[in-house]
Amino acid sequence: MTGPRPVLVLQHAPHEGPGLIGRAIDAPLRVRTVLDLADPVLPALDEVAGVVVMGGPMDADDVRAHPGLAAERALLAAAVDADVPVLGVCLGMQLLGLALGARLLRRHGSEVGFAPVELLADDPVLGALGAQPTVLHWHDDAVELPPGATLLASTAATPVQAFRAGSALGLQFHAEVDAPLLGLWLDTPAMVGRLDEDEVEAIRADGAARLPALAPAAEKLFAGFGELVRARG
């Protein structure tokens, strides 16, 4: 293979792209959607420099409706075993947790909007956000801490907001969202269908107030992941 190996990005909805992740990791991206394929062909781990798994509205264990989720989980388990850098976001973190032996907690508690998260342990990548950053939450499901993983962040509603398992970092919250991506989400009926107009406008206002400071810290976070990717190269 000539040139740097790409980062595989698994996407589950057209509006839930990598956002700041793609800008910050400074590596070519290979975006795939395998959600509804019964037997998807995914690249071999020696063909990629890292794996990023994005969010989506489906339950992480719903392989009957979305059979491709099983292949994603198998890939994530193999990537951690092979020490390949992995980043899982929201649904992606839940898939990572399931791949590592944790249990999905459906409808554990809804968190939608900007709110603080408490960082509980030092991590060379996640630490870029600071000790108690205000971040964007958008989920109903949660996942337990996988066996042997380190709990990195928590909220009262969702005890496992981030974890580290070897080469893998899971984030339940959405640090990847910048102003254009947030605008897209707030204009997408599938994202805001259960929110009333006041809730949507409150998130829009919070984004305008929070993202100018949050986005640079998030870019630093994802640049730290990018350093691991480039080291694998």
Q: What is the pLDDT of residue 2?
A: 63
The CATH code of the domain at 7-232 is: 3.40.50.880
* Phi/psi at 26 (5° precision): 55, 50
Domain boundaries, the chain: 7-232
pTM: 0.96
pLDDT per residue as tens digits for the range 102-149: 999 998 889 999 999 999 999 999 999 998 999 999 999 999 999 999
Active site residues: 90, 174, 176
* Average pLDDT in the chain: 95
Q: What is the pLDDT of residue 232?
A: 84
Strand residue runs (E) in the chain = 7-10, 29-32, 50-53, 86-89, 104-105, 111-116, 118-119, 134-139, 142-143, 150-154, 162-165, 168-171
Collapsing DSSP to helix, strand or coil, 140 comes out as coil
What's the gap between Cα 140 and its chain centre? 15
